A and B are shown apart, each in its own frame.
Chain A
Amino acid sequence: MSQIVVEKKVLNENQKLAEELRAKFREHKILVVNIISSPGSGKTTLLERTLERLDKGRRVRLLTGDLQTENDAKRLAQWGFPVKQIITGGTCHLDAKMITKHLEDWPLDTFDMLIIENVGNLVCPTSYDLGEHFKIVMLSVTEGEDKPLKYPSIFVRSELMLLSKVDLLPYLSFDAELAKKNARSVHPGMEIIETSSKGNGLDTWIAWLDAKIKAVKSGELVSA
């Protein structure tokens, strides 16, 4: 009987592909964000409002992941930016291989930001690196204040939390301050922006993205 010391990441293969993607994004100075939430928290809606607001000359592209249907890609494509749907056919998360495949015919020197909308799922997407600069977690006010405590992994790994559907706060007993406190106890110092389809937080959110795009261009922000 002997023991072999392995000491390797379980998701080694995904990690390798993610590093390859990261190197390409770095070379072409593209900001990449990976948006993760439970099903229906409002990812596509916020992205629609965001694209609606962006100048049509902006070099932005999107990938959106779902188990089935092209619905989200169709909704997003209305705003004039290139969008591709990734249908996972049952897999509960996007992985680096899917991203690589869907980027094949998109010349990387034609955009400054890639927004990835992950499959609606607060658990599984957390483990799969897509070569992004930032994971962004969205929590809607109808989901409960305790979600950061119940699903800490994604909150720990996300740079930013979008607290969505805040237009509904007057109708709910959701305690937004408690939700933020919970998020920050899991992830000390976490940035949080309150958003809604009615326009709350949209300027702040777009300014956040713009600041990151600028930092990537200037070389100030380099993902390791």
Chain B
Amino acid sequence: MHELSIVASVLDQLEEIRKQQPAGARFTKVGLRVGELAGLDVDCLRFGYECSVKDTPWETMALEIEEVPRRQRCPKCANEFRAANWATQCPQCGETETELIAGEELQIAFVEVDE
């Protein structure tokens, strides 16, 4: 499980951002975007986050995770669709070789600051 190292990378980047804020600014929430193909378990990530921020200055910062479902695009008919349960075949024209367009995200979307 590498959820802890993922959390560590998030906190490292937030530390950099915090340095650019006025003294005393406090981050109250961080928003992550996690694709269903990111290879991360969201519950593990939440748990890893709680363990990591406990007894640190980040302790009061809430975690918000936006889970991004997998979406595919059909090269034949340009249909874009949600590929639930790995159903990657185009539901409109039957094409099997469709392209991935969303679901691999692993991003820090935003932080909320209390000045």
Contact = CB atoms under 8 A, between A and B. Distances in A.
13 contacts: A5-B110, A6-B13, A6-B108, A6-B110, A10-B13, A10-B107, A92-B2, A127-B6, A157-B104, A184-B96, A186-B88, A189-B96, A189-B97
A214 B39 CA distance: 32
B35 to A, nearest CB: 9
A6 B113 contact: no
A93 interface: yes
A218 interface: no
B86 A186 contact: yes
Interface centre among A10, A126, A188 (most CB of B within 10 A): A10
Interface in A123-156: 123-124, 126-127, 149, 151-154, 156
Give the dominant DSSP class at B's interface: mixed
B107 A9 contact: yes
A188 B97 contact: yes
Nearest to B95: A188
B97 A2 contact: no
Given A10-B106, A12-B9, A93-B2, A127 B114 contact: no
Contacts of A6: 13, 17, 107-111
A78 interface: no
A95 B114 CA distance: 35
Given A4-B17, A6-B109, A7-B108, A127 B88 contact: no
Nearest to B30: A6
A185 interface: yes
A104 B99 CA distance: 37
A173 interface: no
A224 interface: no
B13 A8 contact: yes
Contacts of B37: 152-153, 156
Nearest to A126: B39
Interface string B89-107: 1000000111110001011
Contact of B112 (A2, A91, A127): A2
Interface in B13-72: 13, 17, 28, 32, 37-40
Interface string A161-190: 000000000000000000000101110110
B115 A2 contact: yes
